Structure 1
Amino acid sequence: MMKEKGFTLIEMLIVLMVISVLLLIMIPNITKHNSMINDKGCQAFVKTVQAQVKAYQMENDVIPTVQQLIDGKYIKSNKCPNGHTVQIGSDGEVSESGS
């Protein structure tokens, strides 16, 4: 009878256990960083919308609403990556509002 080489059941279970522990350690860190990335993306989006408000204001001599920016194709949406919406104040300042 030939001796076949391969992994034993115990070795396979140990490898699966190590992989499971690594996943359990990594998943909370990934979700934490994901929300931080979305918040940074929202800050960048607010700055972009602020620049588009200035551009619209220079072209039309009026402070736009969010809908006017969308209709004029200055921006595609009023939603941040984290799900919040942007608002334009009466002074032309852009801010995000949590939803």
Structure 2
Amino acid sequence: MKNEKGFTLIEMMIVLLVISVLLIITVPNVTQHNATINKKGCEALVKMVEGQVQAYNIDNKKLPKDITELVTAKYLNASETSCPDGRVITLTAGGVVEAVASTATN
């Protein structure tokens, strides 16, 4: 039999073991931080909407009545009215932007 170069079954099993251990370590770590990532993303979205409210106020010399007015005036996309964690961006009469829990039920 010729001396053919290649991986043995043992070498392949060791590689699979190493990959499995790496996955076991990293996957729970990523899912554990998912809530934190969504919270930070929502905070950033609220800050961006606050900036758009100020831009609308400068351009139109008045505050928008609600978020839909910002969407209609093309200051926001419709997808920018809710956070990744499901909270909805709202705008109070005083121009305060908040992320509140959605009241819609499935």
Partner of 1:80: 83
How many percent identity over aligned positions?
Answer: 47
Gaps of 5+ in 2: none
TM-score with structure 2 setting the length:
0.78
The alignment's C-alpha RMSD in Å is 1.9
Q: Does 1:50 align with 2:50?
A: yes
Find runs of 4+ consecutive structure 1 residues off by over 6 angstroms: none
SS in 2 for 1:70: helix
CA–CA separation in structure 1 for the residues paired with 2:74 and 2:32: 33
1:31-46 matched pairs, under 5 angstroms: 31-46=31-46
Check the 8 A contact 2:63/2:95 in 1, yes or no. Answer: no
Structure 1 residue 36: Cα displacement:
2.5
CA contact (8 A) 1:86 1:94 kept: yes
Gaps of at least 5 residues in structure 1 are: none
In structure 2, the CA distance between the partners of 1:56 and 1:64, relative to structure 1 (3 Å rule), is farther
Structure 2 match to 1:65 = 66
